[in-house]
Structure formats: C-alpha cells, structure tokens
C-alpha cells in the first residue's frame, strides 16, 4: 500500500485526508492518506522517509520552506517561491504548486478577466498573482502593510496610504480577515470604491461567508469563496500522486462529494 500525508501545523482541521482517501477508495487505488503535525520544516524529509511516504501535501506555515528542502521544484513552484505538493521520484523529492492552477480553475466560470486586484501579500497572494500574470491578466496588490513589497517586484504594490482607485474586473481577498473575526481585509471606503466598479469577487477563505463576500453580494457582484480552489488543488495533487492515471472530472466528482459541494 502506498502512503501519502498532509504536513502542517495545525493539520487537525484539514479536509485533504477525506478528499484523497475517498478518491483512493472509489478508484480502487491501494493507498492511504494521513496527516502529520510538523514542528519545523527541517524535519519534513526525516518524517517523510520514516513513514515511507510516496507523496505529500504541505500546508501552513511550511509552503515556502519546502522549496528549500526538496531536491527539485516544478517551474511554477520555483517562480512562486512556495509549494503545496511533493512527490518522491527515485531518491529525489520534487515540489509542485497546485494552489495556483487550482485558483485558475476555480475562477473559470467568471469568464474573461482583463485585470484584478489582490488584497493581501502572503503566500496565497504570491501564487495567485503569479498564475494571473502568466495568463496575461494585469494584477495589482493592495496590502495593509508594506513589509512584503519585495515579494512582488513585478507588480504595482499599494498600501491604503498610497492607493488610488482604479477599475478592476476581479477583486480577490487572500487575507484571513473575516475568518475568526468580523473584519474586512482593508478600509471599508477603499473596498467599496473597488467593489462598486468590479464585476467579480473571490475570497480564498472558505466555509464561511466573510464580510468581504457579503459586501460583494450587496453590490451585486458575481462571487465565490475558496472551496473550489481547495477542491481543484486537491484534484491536481491527486493526479500528480497517481501519475495522471485517472480522468480529471472523475476525481473532481469524488472530491466534490467529499467536500459536500454540488
Ligand atoms: P499569509 O499569512 O501568508 O498572508 C496573509 C496576508 O494577509 C498578509 O499579507 C497579511 O498582511 C494579511 N493579513 C493577515 N491578517 C489580516 C487582517 N486581519 N486584515 C487584513 N490583512 C490581514 O497567509 P496565506 O496567504 O497563506 O493564506 C491566506 C488565506 O488564504 C488564509 O485564510 C487561508 O486559509 C486561505 N487559503 C485558501 C486556500 C484555498 O484552497 N481556498 C489555499 C491557501 C490559502 P501583512 O503582510 O501586513 O502581515
């Protein structure tokens, strides 16, 4: 039996084991997916080998560090500077980023998008800005602070202090604002100006309707939370784990069921 796992801290809440195990079971793959609490990223290889894993996913706060501990990284993961999927090939560990293409699949239903603004400047903003840019969509970054500006040298980077209103097709929240409190990700006046002129809104947060999405709804934007991004990063990771042996839509269907999605 092949073994896979999710590494992170915390990992208890994650839906990944449910998604992958249901897919293994329904597709008759002799494999199991568990979760492993990791204290520090330098223990990842040791634990990966100890449990004799064939592949893994990595979540907060290790997505950026695993690039350094893996032997190779796929072009997207290398350019983003973060990965969420590892596969063992021979003695080598290869890192991939499926969050970025997972996001692109999640926003497909919005249709044509020319430009977007990302609120937040963490790992998720790095993945999303990279993939939008790769798909020729102009991206600006707006963050509450200036401290991560250097991670976005190819983008126009704003804080509320120097932001001047522009028109964007898509507004994306990549901050955890609204997850544990009732906060908006950025000053309400600025956000209303952006949302009033936008067509679509996307929130990386899932499972709750955040104040950000409520505002988008109020201004009649077409909007989505982050559940489909979670779904598609999982389908893409599963395909890497199983060497693309299974039909994408079949895996998607099973994982949708695992996530209670329609
Ligand atoms: P990071 O910690 O790397 O970055 C968070 C960013 O948000 C930082 O730029 C930070 O600003 C800003 N921020 C944090 N708290 C607040 C707040 N209360 N108000 C305004 N800005 C804030 O996080 P990640 O990028 O890894 O994750 C962000 C969110 O995306 C999480 O909620 C996570 O659950 C979700 N996510 C969803 C996925 C999905 O599949 N749907 C996949 C990955 C992530 P500063 O720079 O000033 O510190």
pLDDT tens sequence across 162-212: 999 999 999 999 999 988 788 999 999 999 999 999 999 999 999 889 999
| Alpha carbon nearest to ligand 1 atom 40, residue | 230
Pocket-testing residue among 64, 120, 129, ligand 1, by greatest number of atoms within 8 A of Cβ: 120
- Tell me what pLDDT residue 181 has: 85
Pocket-testing residue among 175, 205, 206, 231, ligand 1, by greatest number of atoms within 8 A of Cβ: 175
* Average pLDDT value for the chain: 96
Percent of the chain whose predicted confidence (pLDDT) is above 70: 100
What is the token pair recorded at 141? 């970054």
206 contacts 227 by C-beta, under 8 angstroms: yes
Say what angle helices 16-26 and 227-241 make with each other, to 10 degrees: 50
CA of 226 to the centre of ligand 1 (A): 12
What is the token pair recorded at 171? 């507004």
Ligand 1: nearest atom to the Cα of 126: 25
pLDDT tens sequence across 98-132: 999 999 999 999 999 999 999 999 989 999 999 99
Residue 259 to residue 228: CA distance in whole angstroms: 9
| Alpha carbon nearest to ligand 1 atom 36, residue | 204
148 contacts 166 by C-beta, under 8 angstroms: no
Ligand 1: nearest atom to the Cα of 206: 41
Least Cα distance to 234 among 141, 122, 226 occurs for 226
Kindly list the distances between the CA atom of residue 64 and the CA atoms of 122, 157, 163, in Å, as whole numbers in the listed order: 10, 21, 28
Question: Helix, strand, or coil here: 117?
Answer: strand
Residue 131 to residue 124: CA distance in whole angstroms: 11
What is the token pair recorded at 201? 């809104």
- Tell me what pLDDT residue 207 has: 86
What is the token pair recorded at 238? 């599963």
Ligand 1: nearest atom to the Cα of 121: 9
Check whether 134 has a pLDDT greater than 90: yes
- Tell me what pLDDT residue 180 has: 78
pLDDT tens sequence across 246-262: 999 999 999 999 999 87
CA of 246 to the centre of ligand 1 (A): 32
254 contacts 27 by C-beta, under 8 angstroms: yes
What is the token pair recorded at 34? 């568990």
Catalytic site residue 63? yes
Pocket of ligand 1 (CB under 6 A): 60, 99, 120-125, 143-145, 147-148, 174-177, 179, 183, 185, 204-206, 226, 229-230, 233
* Residue carrying structure tokens 């897919």: 23
Residue 224 to residue 236: CA distance in whole angstroms: 20
Catalytic residue among 2, 3, 47, 63: 63
pLDDT tens sequence across 213-248: 999 999 999 999 999 999 999 999 999 999 999 999
CA of 170 to the centre of ligand 1 (A): 18
Ligand 1: nearest atom to the Cα of 145: 47
| Alpha carbon nearest to ligand 1 atom 2, residue | 122
């Amino acid at each position: 039996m092949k073994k896979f796992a999710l590494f992170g801290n915390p990992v208890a809440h994650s839906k990944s084991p449910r998604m992958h195990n249901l897919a293994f079971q329904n597709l008759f793959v002799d494999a199991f997916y568990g979760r492993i609490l990791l204290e520090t990223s330098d223990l990842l290889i040791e634990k990966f080998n100890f449990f004799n894993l064939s592949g893994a996913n990595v979540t907060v706060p290790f997505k950026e560090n695993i690039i350094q501990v893996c032997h190779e990284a796929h072009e997207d993961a290398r350019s983003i500077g973060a990965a969420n999927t590892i596969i063992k090939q021979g003695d080598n560990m290869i890192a991939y980023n499926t969050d970025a293409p997972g996001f692109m699949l999640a926003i497909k239903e919005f249709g044509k998008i020319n430009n977007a603004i990302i609120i937040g400047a963490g790992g998720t903003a790095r993945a999303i800005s990279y993939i939008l840019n790769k798909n020729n969509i102009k991206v600006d970054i707006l963050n509450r602070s200036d401290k991560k500006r250097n991670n976005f040298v190819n983008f126009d980077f704003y804080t509320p202090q120097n932001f001047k209103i522009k028109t964007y097709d898509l507004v994306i929240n990549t901050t955890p604002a609204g997850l544990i409190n009732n906060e908006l990700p950025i000053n309400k006046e600025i956000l209303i100006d952006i949302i009033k002129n936008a067509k679509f809104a996307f929130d990386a947060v899932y499972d709750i309707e955040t104040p950000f999405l409520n505002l988008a709804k109020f201004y009649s934007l077409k909007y989505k939370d982050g559940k489909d991004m979670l779904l598609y990063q999982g389908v893409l990771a599963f395909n890497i784990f199983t060497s693309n042996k299974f039909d994408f839509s079949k895996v998607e269907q099973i994982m949708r069921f695992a996530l209670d999605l329609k």
